Amino acid sequence: MLRILIVLYLSFMAQLTWATEVSFITNDNATIYANYQQRGSHAVLLAHGAIFNKESWGAFEQKLLAENFTVLAIDFRGYNKSTQGDKVQALYEDILAGVRYLRKQSGVSKVTVLGASMGAIAAAKASVYSADNEIDQLILLSPSRIYKPESLKGELLFIASKEERLTKVLKSAFIKAAEPKALELIDGKAHAQHIFKTSKAEQLTSIIISFINK
């Protein structure tokens, strides 16, 4: 019996942590690599911050998988094996290509984009340039600027730590954005993915998953 339980546990852990590396081409000919893990019909695209990469989401990514969300964690152009495209710093194209990759996957019917810091800036621009209903939900974690907030699409969640300098920008963008929208400010001054390294990690994770589950 113990041996059976051990085998079942190891099988579960392998399913939880194993990812397939995939790649896709952007509209401006960048090649973007990503870790893809198929679970349920609701997919979450993770767009990292400037000092992070697709491997950096750790326990938060595992929580998404445990909640049966399909996850695509991208490496932006210039990170690891992802290559530059024809446009300079067009990170939003990387996200749009990832969204379109997800939309082509069998069984995926809903897409949420979560961008952190640099990734949030790119995610906002991707939302503006996206086709209607391409991105169902947009989560912006600690962006220092937000492109055309009045043109953001889908259900919106703005998040930052209360003591970050960018909160004024975030609040201003939130006011301009269309409904449905939500704003969450967490105690502390940790920035973007760094919040996951603090005692507020569980609170941040809960806020995001509650929003995705709406």
Q: What pLDDT was estimated at residue 131?
A: 97
Could you read off the pLDDT tens digit of each residue along the chain, which spans 214 residues? Answer: 555 444 334 344 444 458 999 999 999 999 999 999 999 999 999 999 999 999 999 999 999 999 999 999 999 999 999 999 999 999 999 999 999 999 999 999 999 999 999 999 999 999 999 999 999 999 999 999 999 999 999 999 999 999 999 999 999 999 999 999 999 999 999 999 999 999 999 999 999 999 999 8
CATH superfamily label, 20-212: Alpha/Beta hydrolase fold, catalytic domain (3.40.50.1820)
CA distances from 19 to 8, 64, 157, 161 (A): 19, 13, 27, 30
Task: Indicate the domain borders of the chain.
Answer: 20-212
Rounded to an integer, what distance in angstroms lies between the CA atom of residue 153 and that of residue 109?
A: 17
- The strand pairing partners of 24, in sequence order, are 32
pTM summary value: 0.92
Strand ranges, E, within 117-201:
137-141, 155-161, 181-186
Q: What pLDDT was estimated at residue 47?
A: 99
Alpha helical stretches, state H, 41-155: 58-66, 91-103, 118-129
Q: What pLDDT was estimated at residue 7?
A: 39
Q: What pLDDT was estimated at residue 17?
A: 55
